[in-house]
Structure 1
């Protein structure tokens, strides 16, 4: 099984969830408990994945009815096969929010067919406006492919998406302008522990090194100043959702056995013998293992809490303040 074939074990143990719910794990988000009543009719919003669904719900409060199509860690967004019922959820949508970057193309296609007049916020495009221009082109022998789509781990993109969502909600419901401005300000306050954690780790850990089983956390690792020492061949295999060659795997295992990095970033939603070997090599050598997840961890109160929990674990592993 390829390394990047995520959530395999969860999918096997939860067939009734996937088969019995047309949207896989769709969720109509309730307004945050601190959200005041809406002074007007709420905006109908559809979001592809929960990494952004939680943020949109916070920003919209009671003035947005937010439906998140995939709100479960048991479903892999890369390979999700939407149903006609999923398309129906887009009907009547006034705003659509997708991740982009080929991560959830199915959502963009459903929006185009079922909500052609709704504005679409694409997180990848917002975070990297030149992404589509250089996508698939070579530059000095390096193929950009589709880049790293896990942009919810890019702090600047989180802020840019929040601003874009607030702007679109305000355009769609001008009478709730002040309400949305207050929600954006509240979200900014909620982000402060997240931003403080990033700044504190960066102040103490810049130059420390890591290896990773996947690229999911790479943008955040860069934001806190870590250097990626994952062998290039292994990185390419993981990015292409294929098994690494024996030589590429040996290169990563050897790096860990020699304690050539300060931490191993481990996507705990990946199942299989390859990640198990990698984790075992790190633990045997005494390299701290920091678990991260691609989707919002079950039971987490908010996007910010999810991120801060992981940053706290990273700081502890690096031996720096969080």
Structure 2
């Protein structure tokens, strides 16, 4: 998935190129409860644990004041693949009434903690909901970049909330509707890109954005050898790297998708080649940038930047 297991803390994600959204940058490291319950909840607030903040933001919005949502890996420079939970992290699972994980081979530590510490709690697995294999090493686990998966997870979470707290079913239904409304711009840009940029080409330093690229109809021309090396977190062979650099030098793609959370000389070399050849570079991140106020604003910012780079309406 990444070329190096180390991660850079994102200190500044580029501001969106369209006027309707801005993604800020600042954040925290420790798992912390969000959406603290108050007297507005018509039922006893639930205890929910989410493995990573890509889904934590969504679950918190759906929960409102009817749950305490603890996100384990949030605003961190730690790669969830390599994350080793501390006793305080494991303790979060013990009282969980609902657990939400990404699934696949992305956060297996969370699935193990759920089975060991909260065997009776329902577990929502985003990869499984999106139709992916739970432990397939070759599958792309970055399903939060799949609009259909986002909808499926939101629906599943709301359904479980209603089962666990029937007295708050109407409350959760309203929260779900509000979340759907907040995704209007997100879906509008996805639809616009699909209509105006479908068939355009891209290459990527990682597979993180591939699900979204497919959703908007982009064609992936990343050299296969490079893709395989990145998927196995290894350096590409000189021949595979050279193929990538020649692709960019020949302007063989319309845009380069660049994960700014990846450290290393290889992605930097690829970016430099794109810039030298005049291939637009679109910055994306794997996790929510510190300070991003919601999943929606994070995604809209990146999609807007993609639309500008491709010269289409967003």
Common fold: TM-score over 0.5 = yes
TM-score (norm 2): 0.91
Relative contact order higher in (CA < 8 Å, ≥ 6 apart)? 2
Which residue, 29, 38, 43 being the options, matches 2:34? 29
Aligned counterparts, 1:86-165, within 5 A: 86-128=89-131, 131-132=133-134, 145-165=137-157
* SS of equivalent to 2:195: helix
8 A Cα contact 1:213 1:266, kept in partner? yes
8 A Cα contact 2:102 2:141, kept in partner? yes
In structure 1, distance between residues paired with 2:116 and 2:29: 19
In structure 2, distance between residues paired with 1:70 and 1:29: 13
Deviates more, 1:276-285 or 1:67-76: 67-76
In structure 2, distance between residues paired with 1:310 and 1:44: 32
In structure 2, distance between residues paired with 1:65 and 1:84: 19
Deviation string 1:163-222 (CA, Å, 9 cap, x unpaired) is: 000000000000000000000000000011000000011110011000000000000001
Higher helix share: 1
In structure 1, distance between residues paired with 2:225 and 2:101: 30
Tell me the residue number matched to 1:139. none
- Displacement after TM superposition at 1:4 (Å): 3.6
Tell me the residue number matched to 1:261. 253
Which residue, 207, 210, 230 being the options, matches 1:218? 210
**4+ residue stretches of structure 1 with deviation over 4 A?**
none
8 A Cα contact 1:207 1:227, kept in partner? yes
Deviation string 1:221-268 (CA, Å, 9 cap, x unpaired) is: 011110000000000000111100000010001100110000000000
Tell me the residue number matched to 1:43. 46
- Displacement after TM superposition at 1:87 (Å): 1.0
> Cα RMSD (Å) of the superposition?
1.8
TM-score (norm 1): 0.89
In structure 1, distance between residues paired with 2:248 and 2:103: 33
Number of matched residues? 296
Q: Does 1:230 align with 2:233?
A: no
Q: Which runs of 5+ in 1 are unaligned?
A: 12-22, 137-144
In structure 1, distance between residues paired with 2:238 and 2:76: 30
8 A Cα contact 1:253 1:278, kept in partner? yes
* SS of equivalent to 1:77: coil
In structure 2, distance between residues paired with 1:218 and 1:4: 19
Deviation string 1:125-179 (CA, Å, 9 cap, x unpaired) is: 01116x24xx65xxxxxxxx34000000000000000000000000000000000
In structure 2, distance between residues paired with 1:102 and 1:50: 17
In structure 2, distance between residues paired with 1:309 and 1:31: 27
Aligned counterparts, 1:192-203, within 5 A: 192-203=184-195
- Displacement after TM superposition at 1:31 (Å): 5.1
Q: Does 1:68 align with 2:60?
A: no
Tell me the residue number matched to 2:166. 174
In structure 2, distance between residues paired with 1:36 and 1:165: 22
Q: Does 1:188 align with 2:186?
A: no
Q: Does 1:300 align with 2:303?
A: no
Q: Which runs of 5+ in 2 are unaligned?
A: 11-27
Q: Mark the CA change 1:270 to 1:24 in structure 2 (over 3 Å): closer, same or farther.
A: same
Deviation string 1:59-86 (CA, Å, 9 cap, x unpaired) is: 0100011000011141210100112221
